[in-house]
Structure 1
């Protein structure tokens, strides 16, 4: 069942990363609904703290983000507090240092790239029938201290988050709700703005909390707002993501609207099937090539 109702998929013996039950649930929900899944990567040696600390220390600084983890649900990106530690120290002592860290684009490391491909190849035929080819495949690893909070935000990709170690609860909200994500925020986001969103306490009633333990996963639709509260132990999560013609089209149309708004011209509606809005996308691409 989707994240708009009770979510309790069964477990089964797994010979692949995603068992049959998870692929069936994913097929029913993709691409528009959040849904709980299961996976077989919990305890994988590449996802231990020591292996991840080694990975982080050989990654470029621009592909790593880390800060203190005790944050409010709504926080300005400029106010994200540093923890005063090196990245390696942050990961190796994350049980006690009250921090949050993300390793971005770990697929650029060949070993972790192979792990990403192993996961996505199982879902590729299911995705292709709904949104076409899997584009721009990426992987992210999140490490969080006990009690940490990932603030209210959205992401531009199709995303499956796999819980590897520890527990957390992700509260997921509907995509395309303009009270949660106003049109101008989408326009700014697709032109390089930050993923964090403004929070109001009355939003809470629209979210569905999804508890995640090792072996659990969740599919999060493109730009579905969510926040995460970590449990009482260190958490490690792997996020496998991809783009599609639909997600690319949505970005193009919001960028086009931002351009029209700057010119004080009427903006257009971005529909639930933006890939079909071919005329507007064509105009935007022509204008972009002309340097508009």
Structure 2
């Protein structure tokens, strides 16, 4: 494998981007700038080679022109291999994600460089970065990523092409009912039910090469790709706060199944020690 020179965080997020991130983190989406456009690890050919050496469990791909509210079981396959999908992404109408690419040493170094200068800004708000991961997204022209949410703190860096990501407020009970959060943290799918009247609640962010966006934990969003192939790199981490929120929703899922009262998940779930301990005990006991 070719030896790549690690990229430092100072080469990725300029000072104004770090300042904007610090003002927004952890609860607000914000557009940033980055310096990874044109990086040799992020070309279509490099990503096709990466995909072909990854385990099947770490890749996902399908046809890309989907409704915003598609059910996971209704997502159509494209009839191609992953390598074929990536190499012909310009014309095959597909979407692909490569998961946990940080397990490859070169991409792990890229992730480390991207997060190094952000880590102090994160630590003062939500503690140390935990479970740092990286994902790569490739989309054909006109592809749609359906309405969904993710459990991680996330910065999406646009590398090639353009897209519009529409981000909705985290914690909106109509967008994400409590039972959906519970099922999500109990192993359920990330896709959410879509209603057309939701659209006005979202904020669209147009992302060109060199743009990035901070997406808060579980902030619902969908993505509409532009007229060219899109490549995006997502760098993510967990925090004690995000882990605690997941534990408390997991606890409520267990309580609800038994007909017991659920607990309130507050703005600082990391402080709700009793509920977190109860969840861990119930899981340990096989509840």
- TM class by shorter-chain length? over 0.9
Match of 2:75 in 1: 80
Match of 1:132 in 2: 127
Match of 2:278 among 268, 283, 286: 283
Match of 1:142 among 137, 146, 151: 137
Provide the TM-score with structure 1 as the length reference.
0.95
Unaligned runs of 5+ in 1: 1-13
Match of 1:210 in 2: 205
Match of 2:232 in 1: 237
Say yes or no: does 1:156 pair with 2:151: yes
Match of 2:180 in 1: 185
Match of 2:4 in 1: none
SS in 2 for 1:223: coil
CA gap of 1:263–1:15, structure 2 versus 1, over 3 A, is closer
2:179, 2:246 → 1: CA distance? 13
SS in 1 for 2:123: helix
Shift in Å, 1:140: 0.2
Do the aligned partners of 2:10 and 2:117 also contact (CA within 8 Å) in 1? no
Alignment of structure 1 residues 89-100 onto 2, 5 Å: 89-100=84-95
Shift in Å, 1:15: 5.3
Unaligned runs of 5+ in 2: 1-8
Alignment of structure 1 residues 43-54 onto 2, 5 Å: 43-54=38-49
1:58, 1:283 → 2: CA distance? 41
Say yes or no: does 1:61 pair with 2:60: no
SS in 1 for 2:117: helix
CA gap of 1:74–1:111, structure 2 versus 1, over 3 A, is same
Provide the TM-score with structure 2 as the length reference.
0.96
Paired residues, what number?
A: 279
Do the aligned partners of 2:20 and 2:30 also contact (CA within 8 Å) in 1? yes
2:209, 2:46 → 1: CA distance? 18
